[in-house]
Amino acid sequence: MKSQMGYLDVVVPSIEGTDLVIPNVKRQHMGAYLCIASNGVPPSVSKRITLVVHFPPMITVQNQLIGAVEGKGVTLECESEAYPKSINYWTRERGEIVPPGGKYTANVTEIGGYRNAMRLHINPLSQSEFGAYRCVAKNSLGDTDGTIKLYRIPPNAVNYVENFEVRHKGKKRTKSSESYHPARAQEHSGEDMENPGKRKADLSLSAEGIDGIYGSSAAPTRLQPHQHLVFKGLLLAVAVSVAVAGMMRNTRMTQLPQTLTHV
């Protein structure tokens, strides 16, 4: 069956017949079903039927390990699913219930027909608050729990990160892959460009050093970093070629008298 919601066409699965059988029913099947009777002559008649599935609680913990700084606040979160609705509360690792009030604030928010979000906010944290916490859900069909471990973060580690961000805030950064231009350097001479490739990018080579390869030139040649590497490779290849040619020439000069002797 196809229905229109706003500007979207939503395809709703439908089954023809007077009976709807759901084998092995699960909690995902919970919800409203619409029974429609039509013989082609409008209007059609419909009846809404709500399916309720009873099941024991289930708990999901997204973050099982949470770090916090002593003296600051932290929030622990769990998600529970149950029907009938469950009783939700928090305990410590030894089983003692966390009492609401004071530095502890516990609340449960319904996010669906059978889903709830459990939150425990602790502020401020002291040394005794670090350790394991259990979020517990109970109903008439059973109970379950999830565990969250709260560990202490040294304050100096947080201060180091904060100071690092303050020191580098507002500084202009340039990618090391970008070419360095002297004109731009003069414009930003008072700024910290922080370009690790800056000192290597400004490469120049006088034409006097390459007269033997490319001929004379009136002006120096400016090379980019990748061109400089290619040129170094070219010079190495030329040097090897010259050395090999010299060795071959010496070898021929040495072997020439021997050839004349045999003749």
Contacts of 174 (CB under 8 A, 6+ apart): 193, 194, 195, 198
**3-class DSSP assignment, residue 196:** coil
Confidence of residue 12 (pLDDT cuts 50, 70, 90): confident
Q: In the predicted model, is pLDDT for residue 176 greater than 70?
A: no
Q: Which positions ≥6 away from 255 have C-beta within 8 Å?
A: none
Residue 61 shares a structural domain with residue 146: yes
- pLDDT at site 14: 84
Residue 21 inside a domain? The answer is yes
- Please check the confidence at residue 130 and state whether its pLDDT lies above 60: yes
Mean pLDDT across 96-100 = 91
Nearest residue to 135 (alpha-carbon basis) of 178, 81, 172, 196: 81
Spell 21-33 as b/e; 16+ CB within 10 A means b: eeeeeebeebeee
In a shared domain, residues 217 and 246? yes
Neighbours of 131 (CB within 10 A): 14
Domain end position, chosen among 38, 55, 72: 55
Average pLDDT over residues 37-55: 93
Q: Is the domain of 42 the same as that of 77?
A: no
pLDDT exceeds 80 at position 34: yes
* Assigned domain for 258 exists: no
- Answer yes or no: do 49 and 62 share one domain: no
Quick check: 197 pLDDT over 60? no
* DSSP for 64-126, written as a single string: SEEEEETTS-EEEEEEEEEESPPEEEEEETTSPBPPSBTTEEEEEEE-SSSEEEEEEEE-S--
pLDDT of 204 strictly over 80: no
69: left (phi over 0), alpha (psi -120 to 50) or beta: beta
DSSP character at residue 24: S
Residues 60 and 143 in one domain: yes
Q: Are residues 233 and 193 in the same domain?
A: no
The total of structural domains in the chain comes to: 4
For the stretch 204-213, what's the b/e string if a residue is b when 16 or more beta carbons lie within 10 angstroms of its beta carbon?
eeeeeebeee
Q: Report if residue 208 sits inside a domain.
A: yes
Do the domain assignments include residue 262? no
Residues paired with 204 in a beta bridge = 222
261 pLDDT more than 50: no
Reading the block at residue 206, the tokens are 């006088």
> What pLDDT sits at residue 162?
53
pLDDT at position 67: 95
Residue of higher predicted confidence among 191 and 99 = 99
Find the range with the poorest average confidence among 32-36, 130-134, 223-227: 223-227
pLDDT tops 50 at residue 194: no
- Answer yes or no: do 77 and 9 share one domain: no
Say whether both 123 and 37 belong to one domain. Answer: no
The alpha carbons of the chain give a radius of gyration, in whole angstroms, of 39
> How many Cβ atoms are within 10 Å of 35's Cβ, its own excluded?
11
Do the domain assignments include residue 133? yes
Query: Are residues 97 and 150 located together in one domain of the fold?
Result: yes
C-alpha closest to that of 115 among 142, 80, 159, 90: 80
Q: Is the dihedral of CA 14, 17, 19, 22 positive or negative?
A: negative
**pLDDT (0 to 100) of residue 167:** 59
- Cα separation of 162 and 24, whole Å? 54
In a domain, 162, yes or no: no
pLDDT at 249 over 70: no
User: Across the chain, what does the average pLDDT equal?
Assistant: 74
pLDDT at 192 over 70: no
Contact of 120 with 67, CB cutoff 8 Å:
no
Domain residue limits at 176: 171-201
At residue 49, the 3 state secondary structure works out as strand
Instruction: With cut-offs at 50, 70 and 90, classify the pLDDT of residue 101.
Output: confident
Sign of torsion, CA 38 41 47 48?
A: positive
Q: Are 30 and 113 in contact (CB under 8 A)?
A: yes
